[in-house]
Structure 1
Amino acid sequence: MALQDPDTNPPPVRPPLQIRVSDAKVTQSVKDFETFISFIFSISIFGASAFAVVVGGMTDPADLWPADSPPTFSMRTARTFIAVAWLCFILSLAVAAYASSALTMMRQRAGGVEDREWGRRWDAIGLVASAVLYLLLVAAFLFLSLAMVAYVGAVGLADDLTHTSGKRSG
């Protein structure tokens, strides 16, 4: 077996290593998302405490309204609305936790470098997570508001509008 002459066959040359540097805009965007996630956690935990109302004692809205003007929703419907709101808050907690975990895993894979290429991949996940979180929170507050209608009526309407006379007091 013949030995190779180092002068005629030089060892293969490796391309120079590219040093990846974090992009300041991407890093700021990720910090903003982390702040948003913290905000979502706070709201969702506070909103999820509505569950205590569902399992606790609730006053029947019919007991609070005059006999000639029944409530818009029954107690059963109000409880259902509160339960749906609670579910939306719990789902927002789950989505926020998964998004935060995905961000952490993507950072670890990238070696902590948040460059533009990494930022493009994260943007897709972050935008979807943000949209889902906003929709869940809007739905949660919508259902809580509907539950409140059973107890206090529609906002901005005077009590005399709900009477059969239909006349407004001046």
Structure 2
Amino acid sequence: MTLTINGQSQTLNVEPRVTLLDALRERLGLPGSKKGCDHGQCGACTVLIDNQRVYSCLTLAVMQEEKNITTIEGLADGDNLHPIQAAFIDNDGLQCGYCTPGQICASVALLDEVENGSVSSITPDLNNPPQLAELSEAEIKERLSGNLCRCSAYNGIVAAVQQATGQTPLSPA
């Protein structure tokens, strides 16, 4: 099978039961996506498939042919970090770093979802989706609730998303 990963075509010969996460890490040498729980509960393995966030531990590699897969390794443009990556650094949105690739991919998807008019379960008016510049802290937390951080770097993660939306993040107390 052939997968398009980070803009490059990759040919693999894997069994039909191999997850995308295992194909990325073990067959393609892309270790950025982490195997946390391997049950779709932590989000450490989050990647983008056709610009939508997906837990790569829960999807089979063979199901991803003809789709565009972006991993943490594919977000930067050479030495130029993606704005979310830079914001995570600026706002200390990480501690041990294990969940960070998944958190960053989920945050990139969050920005795309808001730009495309997607609502969340806490959006007050479903007919009036929030705009990036007015995205509340509660809305950011809800939209990232599928990605866990055992170190509790959530304040920095929220601040990073706020910075990427053009907001001024609150200073940590």
Structure (1 or 2) with the larger CA radius of gyration: 1
Q: Answer yes or no: same fold by TM over 0.5.
A: no
TM-score by length of 2: 0.22
- More helix by percentage: 1
Between 1 and 2, higher relative CO (CA 8 Å, sep ≥ 6) is seen in: 1
TM-score by length of 1: 0.23
